[in-house]
C-alpha cells in the first residue's frame, strides 16, 4: 500500500468512525427519550441527517446502534489479559482484563439509563448476550495457555471458564442496574466471580 493510499484509508476510517459516533449519539438520545421500541428508523435517519441506506451501511440492525461495539471489545479484553502476569490467578487476571476496558469516563446517569433500557428490552438483551459470546474466540486461546495440561481437556476447560466469566459480567450488570448503580459495577462483578470460582 502506498503512503497516499494509506492516508486515504486512514481518512476514510476516521470519517466512518465520526459518522457512526454521530448516529449513535442521535439515536441514543431518541431511545432514552422515547424508548427503544417506540423509536423508528425513519426518526433516527431524519434526526441524524442520513439516508436509511447509509444507516444500514454502518449498522446491521437497530440493536447494533446500541450494542455495535460490544463484540469488538473482546479483542481489547484479550489484549489486556495477555498483559497480566503469567503467575497471576486466572480469575483475577480475567477480572482485571474485563474491567480494564470499562469506560471510566462515561456519564454514570446515562450509562445507567442505557443499561435499564437494555435489560428491560428482550431483543437488546438477547443481542447483548450474543455479542458477549463472541468474546469466546478472542479469549479462549489465552485462557487455554494459562490453564496448561491436560491437553485433551484444555479447550473444554478454557471455553467453560470464559463462558462463566461472561455470564458473571451479564448478571453483575443486571444486578448493578436493578440497584440503581449504588456501587461500582466492579463490586458486583467481583462478587459474581467469587460465587463461581471460590466454591
Measured CA to CA, the distance from residue 38 to residue 104 in angstroms comes to: 30
Contact at 8 Å (CB) between 128 and 65?
A: no
Supply φ then ψ for residue 163, to 5 degrees.
-60, -40
**pLDDT per position as a tens digit, 18-45:** 888 899 999 999 999 999 999 999 999 9
pLDDT value, residue 4: 57
Q: How confident is the model at residue 12 (pLDDT cuts 50, 70, 90)?
A: low
The candidate with the shortest Cα–Cα distance to 76, out of 103, 106, 100, 105, is 100
How many beta carbons lie within 10 A of that of residue 77, not counting itself?
A: 23
pLDDT of 89 strictly over 60: yes
**pLDDT per position as a tens digit, 98-139:** 999 886 666 778 889 999 999 999 989 988 888 888 888 899
Measured CA to CA, the distance from residue 119 to residue 169 in angstroms comes to: 13
Measured CA to CA, the distance from residue 134 to residue 137 in angstroms comes to: 6
Contact at 8 Å (CB) between 37 and 98?
A: no
pLDDT value, residue 72: 78
Furthest-apart CA pair in the chain: how many Å? 58
**pLDDT per position as a tens digit, 108-117:** 788 899 999 9
CATH 1.10.357.10 placement within the chain: 73-197
pLDDT value, residue 148: 87
CATH architecture of 3-61: Orthogonal Bundle (1.10)
The model's pTM = 0.84
Q: How confident is the model at residue 169 (pLDDT cuts 50, 70, 90)?
A: very high
CATH of domain 73-197: 1.10.357.10
Rg from Cα positions in the chain: 19
Cα dihedral sign, 183-187-171-36: positive
- Helix (H) / strand (E) containing 15: helix 3-34
Contact at 8 Å (CB) between 170 and 192?
A: no
Region 156-175: what's the mean pLDDT?
Answer: 94
Q: How confident is the model at residue 199 (pLDDT cuts 50, 70, 90)?
A: low
Cell of 147: 490453564
Cell of 77: 479484553
Which SS3 state, helix, strand or coil, does residue 133 take? helix
pLDDT value, residue 160: 94
Cell of 48: 441524524
Measured CA to CA, the distance from residue 47 to residue 40 in angstroms comes to: 11
The more confidently predicted of residues 73 and 46 is 46
Mean pLDDT score across all residues of the chain:
88
CATH 1.10.10.60 placement within the chain: 3-61
Contact at 8 Å (CB) between 41 and 62?
A: yes
Amino acid at each position: 500500500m502506498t503512503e497516499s493510499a494509506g492516508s486515504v484509508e486512514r481518512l476514510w476510517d476516521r470519517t466512518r468512525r465520526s459518522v457512526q459516533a454521530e448516529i449513535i449519539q442521535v439515536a441514543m438520545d431518541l431511545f432514552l427519550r422515547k424508548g427503544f421500541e417506540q423509536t423508528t428508523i425513519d426518526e433516527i435517519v431524519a434526526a441524524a441527517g442520513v439516508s436509511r441506506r447509509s444507516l444500514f451501511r454502518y449498522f446491521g440492525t437497530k440493536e447494533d446502534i446500541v450494542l455495535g461495539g460490544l463484540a469488538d471489545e473482546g479483542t481489547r479484553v484479550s489484549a489486556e489479559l495477555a498483559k497480566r502476569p503469567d503467575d497471576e490467578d486466572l480469575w483475577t487476571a480475567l477480572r482485571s482484563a474485563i474491567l480494564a476496558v470499562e469506560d471510566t469516563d462515561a456519564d454514570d446517569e446515562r450509562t445507567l439509563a442505557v443499561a435499564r433500557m437494555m435489560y428491560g428490552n428482550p431483543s437488546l438483551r438477547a443481542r447483548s448476550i450474543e455479542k458477549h459470546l463472541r468474546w469466546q474466540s478472542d479469549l479462549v486461546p489465552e485462557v487455554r495457555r494459562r490453564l496448561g495440561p491436560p491437553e485433551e481437556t484444555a479447550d473444554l476447560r478454557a471455553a467453560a471458564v470464559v463462558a462463566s466469566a461472561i455470564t458473571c459480567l451479564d448478571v453483575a450488570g443486571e444486578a448493578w442496574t436493578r440497584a440503581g448503580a449504588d456501587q461500582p459495577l466492579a463490586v458486583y462483578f467481583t462478587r459474581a466471580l467469587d460465587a463461581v470460582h471460590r466454591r
